[in-house]
């Protein structure tokens, strides 16, 4: 249990964090931002799962909304990641599993994780104590969606980098980074949250097949609806995919510039983004424009690449027309050209790198060749970033989860072990 029990945290009531015990703070160098990015991104996945919801109740896991979250808590308290993934919404479990596996592979290549590291093993510990329910613990939304309400209890999560499967090399690299290698515990006091908001803490559960599962996506959607004073819609927006990955992206861009929120939702995968289809009608009125935009898509050139589970569609040239003016954005090698009707503007990676070297020199820092190579690799990968698509029942949809995963992996793929080490040293 957190040693800060009983202390007040006015800025964020209900959230308590134990201060890491550091023996000595090393002097801060001039380029700490670099290491903040590198260590923060790399440690995110290495730290394991950071889901934190808790309750206790009768019944086998999944037999009811209440029992579903109980099973999740049991898995969290045991640090049982496999059990955890079996108890959360299947689509969300798959998304985490895919991200963990692909990220772990990249971090082993970068010599951040040991070769024998288990991508699905949590390095943190969870505890849940004195969990209490509202008098009416479940709120039925539909036959498939139910909200479970908590009013008391404490949920704590401890992160200990020393217990994570990092290589000795990486642990030595982050020794000089304040807080990066320290053990930390955070605690959520449910009663404090209830006191501050005047409402129970709501955990959304979803029925898939004959079992109930807690859902992060549905819990977020429920939170947004509560904050905006809206109710869950009675009808869903059906998934209506496109004939090809490229057509799906074209239709997405067209719908986006037209402010056609309904069509954007239709183009989301029916399994992965079921929550968007269920909550969609509450968003259409709020987000869609009253009249179509005068911006039109004139031309879209793309490049298609296979990725795990689908395709990545990267734009190479896009031309829009708005107010009678045509605006084009095109990539050519390491350069991007913008033409807004008043002459072309070209920006190339070598210009960006030159600017970074000058900025570093002004601070008395000389960027090593490995660091420059890393920035170049990351930059080229970012120019390739695109939209992930998946296929379901012969139709193609835009995958938000896959797109975010690809963006995250883009950062890792732009590094090698030596360049990553140099970046950490720069900011250490």
Q: Any idea what DSSP says for residue 162? A: G
On whether the CB atoms of residues 1 and 156 are closer than 8 A, the answer is yes
Instruction: Tell me, yes or no, whether 319 and 219 share the same domain.
Output: no
Q: pTM above 0.85?
A: no
- Cα–Cα distance for residue pair 118/104, rounded to 1 Å: 8
Is the four-CA dihedral 240, 243, 249, 251 of positive or negative sign?
negative
237 located within any domain: no
How many angstroms from the chain centroid is the CA of residue 47? 14
10 located within any domain: no
Residuewise pLDDT in 10s, the chain (428 residues): 333 333 333 343 344 444 444 444 444 433 333 333 333 333 333 333 333 233 333 346 688 998 888 788 777 777 777 777 888 899 999 888 888 888 899 999 999 999 998 887 755 677 777 777 788 889 999 999 999 998 988 888 888 777 788 898 888 887 766 666 677 888 889 999 999 989 999 999 999 999 999 999 999 999 999 988 899 999 999 999 999 999 999 999 999 888 889 999 999 999 999 999 999 999 886 665 556 678 889 999 999 999 988 999 999 999 999 888 999 999 999 999 999 878 889 999 999 999 988 988 888 888 888 788 888 888 888 888 899 999 999 999 999 999 999 888 888 888 888 888 877 776 55
Instruction: Tell me, yes or no, whether 215 and 336 share the same domain.
Output: no
Which of residues 193, 227, 261 is at a domain's end? 227
Instruction: Please give the residue range of the domain that contains residue 175.
Output: 15-227
261 located within any domain: no
- Cα–Cα distance for residue pair 221/275, rounded to 1 Å: 8
281 located within any domain: no
Instruction: Tell me, yes or no, whether 298 and 221 share the same domain.
Output: no
Instruction: Quote the number of domains for the chain.
Output: 2
Instruction: Tell me, yes or no, whether 216 and 325 share the same domain.
Output: no
CA atoms within 13 A on the CB side of 199: 9
- Cα–Cα distance for residue pair 55/42, rounded to 1 Å: 31
100 located within any domain: yes
Instruction: Tell me, yes or no, whether 56 and 168 share the same domain.
Output: yes
393 located within any domain: yes
273 located within any domain: no
Instruction: Tell me, yes or no, whether 311 and 392 share the same domain.
Output: yes
- Cα–Cα distance for residue pair 174/196, rounded to 1 Å: 37
Instruction: Tell me, yes or no, whether 392 and 302 share the same domain.
Output: yes
Instruction: Tell me, yes or no, whether 406 and 311 share the same domain.
Output: yes
Instruction: Tell me, yes or no, whether 32 and 169 share the same domain.
Output: yes
Instruction: Tell me, yes or no, whether 49 and 157 share the same domain.
Output: yes
Strand, coil or helix: 167: coil
Instruction: Tell me, yes or no, whether 150 and 41 share the same domain.
Output: yes
Instruction: Tell me, yes or no, whether 301 and 175 share the same domain.
Output: no
232 located within any domain: no
């Amino acid at each position: 249990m957190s040693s800060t029990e009983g202390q007040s945290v006015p800025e964020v009531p209900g959230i308590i964090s134990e201060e890491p015990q550091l023996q000595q703070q090393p002097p801060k160098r001039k380029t700490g931002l670099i290491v903040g990015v590198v260590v923060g991104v790399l440690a995110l996945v290495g730290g394991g799962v950071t889901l934190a919801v808790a309750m206790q109740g009768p019944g086998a896991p999944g037999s009811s909304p209440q029992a579903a979250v109980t099973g999740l808590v049991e898995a969290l308290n045991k640090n049982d990641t496999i059990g955890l993934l079996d108890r959360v919404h299947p689509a969300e479990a798959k998304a985490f599993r895919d991200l963990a596996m692909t990220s772990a592979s990249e971090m082993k290549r970068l010599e951040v994780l040991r070769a024998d590291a288990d991508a699905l093993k949590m390095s943190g510990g969870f505890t849940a104590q004195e969990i209490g329910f509202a008098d009416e613990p479940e709120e039925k939304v539909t036959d498939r969606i139910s909200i479970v309400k908590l009013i008391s209890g404490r949920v704590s999560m401890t992160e200990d980098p020393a217990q994570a499967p990092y290589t000795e090399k990486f642990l030595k690299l982050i020794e000089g980074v304040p807080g990066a290698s320290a053990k930390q515990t955070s605690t959520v006091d449910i009663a404090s949250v209830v006191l501050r908001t005047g409402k129970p803490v709501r955990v959304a559960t979803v029925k898939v097949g004959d079992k109930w599962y807690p859902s992060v996506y549905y819990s977020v959607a429920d939170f947004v609806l509560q904050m905006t004073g809206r109710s869950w819609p009675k009808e869903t927006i059906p998934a209506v995919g496109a004939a090809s990955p490229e057509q799906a992206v074209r239709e997405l861009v067209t719908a986006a510039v037209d402010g056609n929120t309904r069509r954007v939702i239709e183009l989301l995968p029916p399994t992965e983004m079921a929550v968007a289809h269920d909550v969609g009608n509450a968003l259409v009125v709020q987000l869609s424009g009253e009249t179509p935009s005068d911006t039109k898509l004139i031309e879209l050139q793309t490049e298609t690449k296979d990725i795990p589970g689908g395709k990545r569609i990267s734009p190479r040239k896009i031309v829009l027309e708005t107010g009678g003016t045509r605006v084009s954005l095109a990539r050519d090698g390491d350069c991007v050209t913008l033409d807004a009707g008043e002459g072309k503007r070209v920006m190339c990676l070598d210009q960006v790198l030159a600017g970074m070297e000058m900025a570093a020199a002004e601070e008395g820092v000389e960027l090593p060749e490995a660091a420059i190579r890393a920035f170049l690799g990351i930059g080229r990968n970012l120019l390739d970033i695109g939209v992930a698509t998946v296929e379901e029942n012969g139709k193609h949809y835009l995958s938000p989860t896959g797109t975010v995963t690809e963006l995250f992996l883009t950062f890792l793929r732009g590094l090698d072990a030596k360049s990553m080490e140099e970046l950490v040293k720069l900011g250490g």
